Chain A
Amino acid sequence: MSTRLASGGRFLNRDRAVEFRFNGKRLAGYEGDTLASALLANDQMMIGRSFKYHRPRGVVASGAEEPNGLVNLGEGARFEPNQRVTTTELFDGLQATSQNHWPSLEFDVGALNTHLARFLPAGFYYKMFMYPRAFWKHIYEPFIRMSAGLGKAPKERDADTYEHFHAFADVLVIGGGIAGLTAALEAGKSGARVIVLEQTAHWGGRALVDAPGIGGKPAADWVKNAVQDLEKMDNVTIRTRTMGAGVYDHGYALGYERLTDHQPEVSGPRHRLWRIRARQIITATGAIERPLSFAGNDLPGVVLASAVRDYAVNFGVSVGDRTVVVTNNDDAYRTALALRDAGLVVPAIIDARTQASGPLPEQARAAGIRVLTGMGVAKVKGSRRVTGVAVCAQAGEGAVLEEIGCDCVAMSGGWSPVVHLWSHCGGKLTWDADQAMFRPDAARAPTGADAQPFVIAAGTANGHLRTAEVIADATEAGRAAARAVGGRVRATRAVAATDEDEAAMAPVWLMPQGAGIALRMKAWLDYQNDVKVSDVQLAAREGYESVEHAKRYTTLGMATDQGKLSNINGLAVLSQALNAEIPQVGITTFRPPYTPISMGAITGAARGALFQPVRQTPIHGWHIDNGADFEPVGQWRRPFAFPRAGETVHDAVTREILNTRSNVGLLDASTLGKLIVKGPDAGHFLDMLYTNVMSTLAVGKCRYGLMCSENGFLIDDGVVARIDDDTWLCHTTTGGAERIHGHMEDWLQCEWWDWQVYVANVTEQFAQIAVVGPNARKVLEKLGGMDVSKQTLPFMQWADGTLAGIPARVFRISFSGELSYEVAVPASQGRAFWDAALEAGAEFGIMPYGTEGLHVLRAEKGFIMIGDETDGTVIPQDLGLGWAISKKKSDYLGKRGQERSHMADPNRWKLVGLETLDGSVIEDGAYAIGEGVNDNGQRNTVGRVTSTYFSPTLGRGIAMGLVLHGPDRMGEVITLTRTGGGSVQARIVDPVFYDKAGEKQDV
């Protein structure tokens, strides 16, 4: 059984017991534990079940590479699935539950899948769930949904907060082991700005477990001094619990700092995303031990040799009382020795190599440990946990020579450098056959904007497994980075280091070498996605020769651990099956992040009210005080309507419209875009931007204009006013101000840069209030200060003056068909004018109206709305706006586009009005149905609805739509779709439903 040792555990504070729950069970650990070590200390070997076969699984590793130990953590608004027990620091009150089982961890129905394993081979889903098609909805999909998914999705809004840091460094060091610390010291001494990130809570990495001598000191002392030295340097920033998550173009890197995961009682952000720009990046990310592929290598109790050692040394935890070590290298002997030092039993070391004669095997033998060379594990005995191993000759097919009782198997298949961050931005790898590993190829490093390498791999991450080599390599890496950023480097000798000599490892990709299918079907490669040696071999047989294809077919390496343990083993099996060398088969792409990071960290502070800026008009406060029902329009919030007590929103819209048509309405139109275009060439410029002529507009007059893209499509519309000889004011749509401003700047800067024109966006400098309706003039006359009579200020003109003592520019323009004045006043006096207008208008029945009223009023008049009648594929000619397109101008943006054959096609759908025969309101987006079916067997369509409303003025539904040959079919009845079946009939009519002669606006 796994248990807590009486002594040991350099991370533990045994004076502070910590209580936590696993599946509701109350358990105890110590401060300094990870959830993994605490569970093991409580003999909780089984932690979850696997994804596909629901096999019992326990921890395999001790760090970020752990594939099995995933749990649901926390509850309610702090619930989070798929949290790795090996990287979760224990705290008082921690609550975890296991995943992937039903109804319980111990008894699981899905585990039946394991007996069906032979019917669930690689590519099973692709093969089995194809036919019959009708089975999908009721049989296949529910089955897959039931089985699929790791953990549960959180249901509540995340209660924690997150933040981003923007940081800049000359040298970013990722990894705080002895290589990272060495490189950081070298870079720091040169004066460079250095940031060092370590993903765990501790400096020193694995060196403190294996305890080599560094600089004549024990490793622990050297690490302590190194960290102190770095802390003293003002130019160096060091962070633990911060993972280097990704390396991107031009020296961009992400760090993921976990601030309060281990101390949830502390307030402040939970995670911090470091967005770093670094000139040089050193990846000192260490290496990950590989499992060995033998039958039953997934049973709880089969653990990586280095992890067994970590649990004993760091946490004072023994994974088992009797541990058999299985290895192909000398390093795993350290585990046997560490266990013996802890007073535990090591019945045997099974070494696949024919010889084991280095210092470490000799030490093991001297300690009385039995060393079996040339041997392998035929299979692991046990059902829910290890009870023993069957030993066989590695060279054979698995004939059992003897059985050894044990409750832990410590396996080591050699080490793989963590090359992820090196590879994220294009760093290439080279195959090191002697150590059976891919290592960074320094000649093909990621390069930056200046084509120079900006990533340097250091230490174990660079393929150096011996301490002295690690220190020497990291020293040079730190100096190279310092030199690259112009630091001063003094060439002194690298610190000396000593550890035991190691003999060469021997690659072992399958144990035993000639294992038959029965064994290969139980030899796991990818624990999390349940991929076995036999699956990869099947993929190769079925023609999936590319490593990327084999990966997707078998799902090898596609789980949340991204194959940290399985990729190399799977690749080796694939290359053997293809009879190719490993480097020829290649390796799948490494993509960031290194381990999953929280969505909260990515979001940072950009959520809720801070998700995006909200723009408010100067009159916003009044809208809130008066119960406005708001809608977002671009980044603005605009009142949709102003419902009164007892009114629905629909009632309010109806009232606002009828009142505007019969008395007077007030609209906050401040959001309307206002662009000043000024300069000697401004008229010429506007003639190019608008489809009609603006240069001939007389000072004091207004003209409606259309803007198109070079494709010919309508992109914006609005009224242009000529202010003086060289100044025009262009109104844009609410959502279009910034976009059209950018459009103008683009043409002025990039095409007509010699034209003398200046554009200023003054949208927010003015409040604009529309006074609309038959009584509008009376209201303005009562406000007083300027002549607003038809004689002095006729339709489509503007004038400057004062109203109610406030400087005002008054435009006689109408988007409703009524007598209408749009009054622009300085933004600071917008609210004052609004209040004054309401007060003056009281006796004339004034009422504010919202955007829905605005929309209905314009639809009753057949005015188009950008975004309703247009969708980026509509040209003005489609909308009956030919009158606003100059025939005389030789050029304007979009003119040539509109001459293309498809644009001039008489079969383009054209704008018409639509009136249902029964007076009902047509559904938004309804299609007009034509004769016959198209190539896909769908009904042909001959038009679509672009705007549809209930018209209070007419007391019926009205709509506008684009219909094939529409303008030629006045009076015809067409059929329109309804969602949920059925149809509605409508007559094609003139889109102008109200005051066709336009008399009401021109009084």
Chain B
Amino acid sequence: MLTLTCPYCGVAADETELQAGGEAHLKRFGPGASDDEFEGYLFVRENPKGVHFERWRHAYGCGKWFLAARCTVTLEVFGTYPAQSKEPPAHIRKAITAKRPGWTWREFA
């Protein structure tokens, strides 16, 4: 059972306080998008063995959505950051690079 630190209220929250929200940094495609674009937005997911970015909500705490970077193999948490981020912030990427040199995830590295 994971513990993730909510970047809003600073609480190291037990997984029972959290709601999982699937993959992070999805780009929304709406009307006008091609079938491929829409399929990618709605259905295609990374499912990596290693570095991953996820959405979590501090549902039984402050109620805020945040994003977490963690390793799906070791469950190491590289960091958490606000949901209002279009891409992983530099300090998170640096923290991952220090532990997993050469990592890539979608268009990020």
Contacts and interface: CB of A to CB of B under 8 A. Distances in A.
Interface in A371-405: none
B17 to A, nearest CB: 12
Interface in A691-742: 710-711, 742
Given A249-B2, A711-B42, A895-B30, A900 B74 contact: no
A79 B38 CA distance: 57
Nearest to A894: B30
A896 interface: yes
B2 A250 contact: yes
A800 interface: no
B51 interface: no
Interface of B is mostly: loop
Interface size class on chain B is: 20 to 34
Contact of A750 (B14, B31, B55): B55
A22 interface: no
B31 A745 contact: no
B87 interface: no
Contacts of A447: 74-76
B69 to A, nearest CB: 12
A891 B65 contact: no
A900 B31 CA distance: 10
B35 interface: yes
Contact of A745 (B14, B35, B63): B63
A899 B39 CA distance: 12
B47 interface: no
Interface in A270-320: 277
B48 interface: no
B1 A749 contact: no
A313 B75 CA distance: 46
A900 B35 contact: yes
Nearest to B3: A250
Nearest to A889: B31
A447 B76 CA distance: 8
Given A746-B65, A890-B31, A895-B30, A449 B42 contact: no
Interface in B32-74: 32-33, 35, 38, 41-42, 55, 57, 59, 63-65, 74
A277 B41 CA distance: 37
Contact of B1 (A249, A426, A899): A249
A753 interface: yes
A450 interface: yes
A749 B29 contact: no
A426 B76 CA distance: 13
Contacts of A931: none
A897 B42 contact: yes
Contacts of A451: 74, 76, 99
B3 A277 contact: yes
A746 B31 contact: no
Contacts of A251: 3
Contacts of B89: none
Contact of B75 (A249, A710, A890, A900): A249
A583 to B, nearest CB: 22
B84 A252 contact: no
A751 interface: yes
Contacts of B99: 451
Contacts of A448: 75-76
B21 A896 contact: no
Contact of B33 (A252, A745, A746, A896): A896
A887 to B, nearest CB: 12
Contacts of B76: 447-451
A249 to B, nearest CB: 5
Given A449-B3, A449-B75, A746-B21, A753 B84 contact: yes
B7 to A, nearest CB: 12
Nearest to B39: A900
Contacts of A896: 29-33, 38
Nearest to B21: A746
A252 B1 contact: yes
B31 A250 contact: no
Interface in B1-33: 1-3, 14, 21, 28-33
Given A750-B55, A897-B42, A250 B83 contact: no
B65 A895 contact: no
Nearest to A253: B1
B92 interface: no
A746 B21 CA distance: 9
A522 to B, nearest CB: 45
A891 B84 contact: no
A900 B59 CA distance: 33
B35 to A, nearest CB: 7
A892 to B, nearest CB: 8
Contacts of B21: 746
6 contacts: A251-B3, A711-B42, A746-B21, A895-B30, A896-B38, A900-B35
Q: Ordered nearest first, which 9 A-B pairs have the shortest CB separation?
A: A451-B76, A449-B77, A753-B84, A252-B1, A749-B65, A250-B3, A750-B83, A891-B30, A896-B30
Interface of A: 248-252, 277, 426, 447-451, 710-711, 742, 745-746, 749-751, 753, 890-891, 895-897, 899-900
Given A249-B1, A746-B65, A900-B35, 15 more contacts: A249-B75, A250-B1, A250-B75, A448-B75, A449-B77, A450-B77, A451-B74, A451-B76, A710-B42, A749-B83, A749-B84, A751-B28, A895-B30, A896-B30, A897-B38
